[in-house]
């Protein structure tokens, strides 16, 4: 009986500590984040071929859902921008579709924030900087 009480107490403490210090990533997030980073690396290979300026949110944990939504909207814009360039479009078509799908899934798993600025209120940056900011955000979410 004493052993059961001790085990239950340890589990309770672990749950309280997880709640106090931030819950670990869900299994679904653990699956989505590496896939997203891998697809972004595909885009990274030809970042000098893409000449577009996109709204680039700052990394704000309280506004993660809004930040991810902004990145998702800008990926749609990127897709439209490279539509007229068949070489680039064919090279990145699958990666862009996967990125959009996974950003949407990740956004739905993220908590909603309080007062977060709209996407258009962020600075516009060139594609390589946009890509780097998004990759940094996703890596920070993995920790």
Q: What's the pLDDT tens digit per position in 56-111?
A: 998 667 788 899 999 999 999 998 888 888 777 788 888 999 999 999 999 988 87
Q: What is the DSSP letter of 123?
A: E
48 within some domain: yes
CATH number at residue 31: 1.20.1250.70
Task: State pTM to two decimals.
Answer: 0.76
**Residue range 107-133, pLDDT digits in tens:** 988 877 777 888 999 999 999 999 999
The residue whose two tokens read 């390589």 is 128
Q: Is the pLDDT of residue 2 over 90?
A: no
Q: In terms of Cα–Cα distance, which of 11, 45, 34 is closest to 143? A: 34
Does residue 13 form part of some domain?
Answer: no
Q: What domain count does the chain have?
A: 1
Residue 56 φ then ψ, to 5°: -125, 105
pLDDT in tens, 19-62: 333 444 577 777 899 999 999 999 888 788 888 999 999 866 77
H or E element in which residue 56 lies: strand 53-56
């Amino acid at each position: 009986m004493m052993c059961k009480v001790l085990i239950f107490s340890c589990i309770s403490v672990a749950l309280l500590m997880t709640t106090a210090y931030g819950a670990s990533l869900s299994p679904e997030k653990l699956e989505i984040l590496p896939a997203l980073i891998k697809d972004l690396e595909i885009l990274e290979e030809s970042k000098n071929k893409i000449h577009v300026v996109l709204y680039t949110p700052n990394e704000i944990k309280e506004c993660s859902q809004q930040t991810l939504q902004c990145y998702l909207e800008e990926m749609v814009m990127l897709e439209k921008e490279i539509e007229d360039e068949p070489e680039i479009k064919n090279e990145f078509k699958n990666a862009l579709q996967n990125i959009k799908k996974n950003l949407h899934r990740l956004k739905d798993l993220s908590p909603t924030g309080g007062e977060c600025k709209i996407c258009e209120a962020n600075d516009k940056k060139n594609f390589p900087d946009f890509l780097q900011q998004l990759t940094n955000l996703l890596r920070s979410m993995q920790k």
